Amino acid sequence: VLEGFISLVRPLGSVYMVHIAMAAVVLRVYPSLGAWGLAIALLLTLILQNSFNLYLRIRRAYAQTIKALAHAAEMDRPQDVGHAERVAELAIAVGRESGLSSTELEHVGYGALLHDVGRIGYDGEDADTTHPVRGAEIVEAVPFLEGVAPLIRHHRDTDDDVVPEGAVIVGVCCRYDRLRSHIGARAALERLEAEEEGRRLRAAKTLASVVSRRSGSLGLSEDPS
């Protein structure tokens, strides 16, 4: 899931454009500056490439940290192992189908991975209702995850006036995955379409389309697992 996030490949286009621009500069300055101009242009290109590689390493480190937090949230609940990654994969697919931007897809992916992070270290009877707020409070202080906190906070809400689109998608995919583990994929989708309303119903219909087309690649089954 993490390696497929659009955020890790989104900068590639910009970097390639810069390389093309640098090549144009080389062609422009070489006749007048000769070898010195070429050397300077090559040096700038190397600096740019190293900076980009560092950026990618930092982004991957962020992604691995998020994945570790997602796993930590599942450690005390063996029945939930893999739940966050399944929800993330589904949510990204539904978000892409729904026309979300690359930034919104990034937030959806991270929000899905971290939607249960508020359960870490807390097993109170009200965990099901309080973990979204607890989870949002954990991540909202991290600048990198600023846009993710609202998705975590609202993924269980049904109020269309306050719930971000990404939270709707994460919430529906979360509910689907939990239902699927008990009653199977087909019955889970039928229940979602029968019980959800408004934007959550639209997300459920998009999810049904995604599951129908991509059940093999997403590793889903009609039978409870």
More confident residue, 218 or 125: 125
Report pLDDT for 14. 53
The model's pLDDT over 132-147, given as tens digits with 9 standing for 90+, comes to 999 999 999 888 888 9
What integer pLDDT is reported at residue 50 of this predicted model? 77
pLDDT of residue 31: 63
At 160 the pLDDT is 73
- What confidence score (pLDDT) does residue 67 get? 87
The pLDDT assigned to 60 comes to 83
Confidence of residue 161 (pLDDT cuts 50, 70, 90): confident
Only one residue has tokens 């490439």, namely: 49
Report DSSP state, residue 156: T
Low-confidence winner among 22-31, 37-46, 205-214 (lowest mean pLDDT): 22-31
pLDDT bucket at 215, cuts 50 / 70 / 90 = confident
What does the pLDDT look like over 65-81, one tens digit per residue?
888 889 888 888 888 89
State residue 179's pLDDT score. Answer: 95
| DSSP-H helix ranges across 98-164 | 102-113, 127-139, 149-154
pLDDT exceeds 50 at position 39: yes
Q: What are the structural domain ranges in the chain?
A: 2-214
What is the rounded CA–CA span in Å between residue 6 and residue 4?
6
Examine the pLDDT at 214 and tell me if it is beyond 60: yes
> Which residues make Cβ contacts (< 8 Å) with residue 129, sequence separation at least 6?
156
Spatial separation of the C-alpha atoms in residues 160 and 169, rounded to whole Å: 12
What integer is the mean pLDDT of 34-55? 71
pLDDT value, residue 1: 46
CATH 1.10.3210.10 fits 2-214, yes or no: yes
This prediction has a pTM of 0.75
Amino acid at site 76? D
